[in-house]
Amino acid sequence: MTDEMIMEAVKHGELQQASLLFERYNKRIFNFLARMTMDRDLAEDLTQNVFLRIIKYRTSYREGARFQSWIYQVARNIFSDHYQANKNKFSDFVDVEKISDYMPDSDESELWGEREKLLHKSMAKLGDEQRELLILTRFQQMKYEEVALIMDTTVANIKVKVHRAIAKLREHYFELEKI
């Protein structure tokens, strides 16, 4: 059964089917939000909110729409809403030492070495959009076409932005390596 078929069923009142979507997307959405927020506990809360919002606004799911794009759009909105609501708690200054508090999901944790720490510190120095693009296209290996759908833009635009984000990440990574 495809994601879209399940979501259609949920939309028409078969709420128990949502657990299948949760099983399929929970980990991916959590990893996306964990890398965006760099806070595991917060990411767990936000992931839960994503699924609650999907249930709450199930009737707004458009027939034929790709479910993966839709759920990532919801996740982006949840992140954005949280960021806006807590704007005064955020600062342009990133305390890179605190970034190491973030631990990736268990499958990845064995790889949490010095290189991974350096990578996360470098990621933290990127703007939200650049970080998001790298999370989606590199860590989650999403195709540019899919990311273009999620971000409602063109593939060419995504490619340009991803390349700029990689170039910027390289700069931060090797600056931090010198410290």
Partner 1 sequence: MEKEKLENLLIDYIDGKLTEAERYTVDQELIANEESYRMYEQLKEVMQAMQPHG
Site string for partner 1, 42-71 (x = CB under 8 A): ------------------------------
The count of other CB atoms within 10 Å of the CB of residue 178 is 5
- Which of 11, 19, 22, 14 minimizes the C-alpha distance to 57? 11
CA 29 to chain centre: 6
Nearer to partner 1, 64 or 113 (CB): 113
Does 22 help bind partner 1 (rule: CB under 8 A)? no
Whether the CB-CB separation of 25 and 54 falls below 8 Å is answered with no
- Could you tell me the smallest distance in angstroms from the CB atom of residue 154 to partner 1? 16
Segment 93 to 152, residues that bind partner 1, using CB under 8 A:
108, 111, 115-116, 119, 122, 134, 138-141
| Contact range with partner 1 by CB under 8 A, out of 40-48, 55-63, 85-93, 170-178 | 170-178
Does 170 help bind partner 1 (rule: CB under 8 A)? yes
Nearer to partner 1, 44 or 108 (CB): 108
| Contact range with partner 1 by CB under 8 A, out of 48-56, 63-71, 82-90, 167-175 | 167-175
Q: Enumerate residues 6+ apart whose C-beta is below 8 A from 43.
A: 30, 33, 34, 36, 37
Does 1 help bind partner 1 (rule: CB under 8 A)? no
Binder to partner 1 among 42, 96, 166, 176 (CB under 8 A)? 166
Interface residues toward partner 1, by CB under 8 A: 108, 111, 115-116, 119, 122, 134, 138-141, 163, 166-167, 169-170, 173-174
